[in-house]
Amino acid sequence: MIKSKNKKGIRLRLVSDGCATYVYDMDFGTRRIEGEIELKANGVTFYIDPKSADFIRGTKIDYDTKEEGFVFDNPNVKK
């Protein structure tokens, strides 16, 4: 899917939803933007926003086919 869109990786960051909580923001990227952290996991390149890195560290990302969306298991979030 990434190659068919001529994209090389996934850009990931946390953004405020305006209600004192944060949501994950994902987009395709063609290259690392200066300051971003580049890492590979399971053959996928991620470009991580440096301001979000500590909050995202250790997060597992999966895709739920029933819900047709990504599921984030973040050990930094209190449940």
Q: What pLDDT sits at residue 7?
A: 72
Q: What pLDDT sits at residue 6?
A: 67
Q: How far apart are CA 9 and CA 17, in angstroms?
A: 24
Q: What pLDDT sits at residue 4?
A: 47
Q: Name the architecture of domain 3-73.
A: Sandwich (2.60)
Q: What pLDDT sits at residue 2?
A: 47
pLDDT tens digits, residue range 6-65?
678 999 999 988 787 888 999 999 999 999 999 999 889 999 999 999 999 999 999 999
Q: What pLDDT sits at residue 78?
A: 77
Domain boundaries, the chain: 3-73
Q: What pLDDT sits at residue 22?
A: 84
Strands (E), the chain: 9-16, 22-29, 37-41, 44-48, 60-64, 69-73
